[in-house]
Homo-oligomer: A and B are copies of this chain.
Amino acid sequence: MLTERRQNILRLIIEDYVASAEPVGSRALVRKNALGLSPATIRNEMADLEILGYLEQPHTSAGRVPSAKGYRLYVDSLLSPEQLSEKDVSLIEHWYQSKTQRLDDVFRLTAKILSRITRNLSFVLTQAHQERVFRYMKFLPLDEQRAILVLVTDSGVVENRVFRLPPGVIWEELEQVAERLSNRLAGVSLTNLDERVLQEVREAIVQNAALYADTVAMLRETQSASKREQLYLGGATHLLNQPEFRDLEKARGLLSVIEEERLVRDLLQVQKDDGVFVTIGEENKFSGIQDCSMIQATYRLDGKTVGTLAVLGPTRMEYAKIISVVNFLHHYLKGVVEQNNER
């Protein structure tokens, strides 16, 4: 366990470094912080902190830089929780005001807001991993040649599909098919359709191959839609503003990780608990982002993960602020999703 004074020095170093991106030296530290000690004393403490692994030196005769372990300690126990400034809160509310219609837009907007306020890259991942149970299906007329096949699930989601009426088909006949299938499929989970069920469907509409194809396609689509994930992303530009990405190689490595949706999803699925969660430096999975930290929060509904939002930036980031922003938006989004879901 570190002495209070060492913790304090570590905290000051981190905060200075986060602000300036320059290694911080002993003299500079005392100049800025009037802490009643001489540079020499600080030097001694810094040397010890380095031995303990909380600081690093880019080279002899440069100042000290926090190590991943240093950041970790900072995030876990040194950092003083920050309130979101009123200005930021009102900004956020202002941005959200404009459109709150489509859930889709809310997520997109959230990613944008998150990146603007934190000045870092942000993600919003929605995992609409909902169980969908078939309720009934029905045909609706459209015109002489076409009709609509409508599929209703227990959550009220309606999938629909326009199809050409097979020549010579009678409307009553279609209604019978719908009736028969509705009875057969009622209560079946569309999340795990198996061959047995499809076979039954096939048997129920032997007369009409085209109709069968459309029906099955629609069932499948509903199935895949219920597993659908969507990733929203904002503020990649901010990364290039960070001095750590002067080095083009690094920037490129990072961008290529981000462009692979697959990888991002992997990143975001790490977390199993609710609440805000910080990954620092090498704790991250992929090599492109091992100089980065990520602050993420997952929100759930009835115990199931339905989405994650996250901020990604250099390890040298304003943890306190970003954590508070993520927290805030996390709650906001949770509210929106819940409200939308009970409708």
Q: Which A positions have Cβ atoms within 8 angstroms of B? A: 101-102, 135, 138, 140, 142-143, 146, 148, 150, 152, 154, 156, 158, 160, 162-164, 221, 224, 234-237, 240-241, 246, 248, 251-252, 255-256, 259, 343
Contact = CB atoms under 8 A, between A and B. Distances in A.
10 nearest CB pairs, A to B: A156-B162, A158-B160, A240-B252, A237-B255, A237-B256, A142-B156, A237-B259, A148-B156, A148-B158, A146-B156
A4 B269 CA distance: 62
A252 B248 contact: no
A235 B154 CA distance: 40
Contacts of A237: 252, 255-256, 259
Nearest to A241: B252
Contacts of A343: 162-164
A150 B140 CA distance: 10
Contacts of A142: 135, 152, 156
Given A237-B259, A252-B240, A221 B102 contact: yes
Contact of A101 (B156, B162, B221, B246): B221
A107 to B, nearest CB: 14
Contact of A255 (B140, B163, B240, B259): B240
B259 A236 contact: yes
A271 B50 CA distance: 61
Contacts of A241: 252
A152 B246 CA distance: 54
A156 B236 CA distance: 39
A243 B162 CA distance: 50
A143 B156 CA distance: 9
A148 B163 CA distance: 21
A236 B121 CA distance: 15
Contacts of A236: 236, 255, 259
Given A236-B255, A237-B256, A241-B252, A140 B152 contact: yes
A240 B235 contact: no
Nearest to A342: B164
A248 B252 CA distance: 12
A259 B246 contact: no
14 contacts: A101-B221, A102-B221, A135-B142, A138-B140, A140-B150, A140-B152, A142-B152, A146-B156, A148-B158, A162-B343, A235-B259, A237-B255, A237-B256, A246-B248
